[in-house]
Amino acid sequence: MPPNQLAASSGDLAPTDSSRNGSERPFHAAPIDPWTYRSLAYVLLAFPLGIAYLVAITVGFSMTVGLNLTLLGPIALVATLLSIVALAWLDGALTRGLLAVDVTPSLPPTDDGVGAFLKRLVLGRETWLGAVYLGWKILLGIVGFVALVVGVSLATSLLVTPFVYGTDLVVYAGVGDPVTIGTLPRALGAATGGLLVGLGTLYLANLLGRVSAVVAASLLEGRGET
């Protein structure tokens, strides 16, 4: 009997790649999948968190460089690396809560004493993969936030046109001449466009959530499970 069938028959559900990153969720059902809206919240929340991560890392390494020639230099370096590990761990907990991905970041072990801990902190892959992960969250926070906010704002503006249309309502599409929506047919056409933009925004949020789950499961050395 194949191993996967043996595990299923014994009642043990071994994790698969799809269960690790949420890819078993049907993408075509994204607009009616509650997970999509959790993913939307996750990406929007990544913006302020990404700014905080950027500030913390920048200040930490700036202090490390500035104090490099003093006895405080190594202390600043250790504090910066500890902050990277801690922030990656906390963000992994957030990812686990919002995206329902079982991410358990690895932490440098402390069983072998302070010396071994500091060596693992400086040279261990947990620290530097955590730094890469925080860099990813900074990028996700900026790009994802702008894309989703623009999508939600544009969709909302177009969807309400049937209720507020008139000769004073002018829509700037960004290309070409502005369009005046002064008739009901034009307002309904704009609302249809808003519906399409809204659906596209939800699909984008779902996709960004899936990518975030894959990146978290890969870089934070956890197991993903939905």
The 3-class secondary structure across 154-180, one letter per residue, is HHHHHHCHHHHCCCCCEECCCCCCCEE
Band the pLDDT of 199: cuts 50, 70, 90: very high
The pLDDT, as a whole number, for residue 225 is 43
Q: Which long-range contacts (CB under 8 A, 24 or more apart) does 27-35 make?
A: 27/203, 27/206, 27/207, 27/210, 30/202, 30/203, 30/205, 30/206, 31/199, 31/202, 31/203, 33/206, 35/99, 35/100, 35/206, 35/209, 35/226
113: left (phi over 0), alpha (psi -120 to 50) or beta: left
- State the pLDDT confidence band at 123, using cuts at 50, 70 and 90: confident
Identify the residue with better confidence: 203 or 27: 203
**Average pLDDT score over residue span 145-150:** 93
Lowest mean pLDDT among 13-22, 115-124, 141-150: 13-22
The pTM for the full model equals 0.78
Q: Residue 174 — pLDDT band, cuts 50, 70, 90?
A: low
Confidence of residue 4 (pLDDT cuts 50, 70, 90): very low
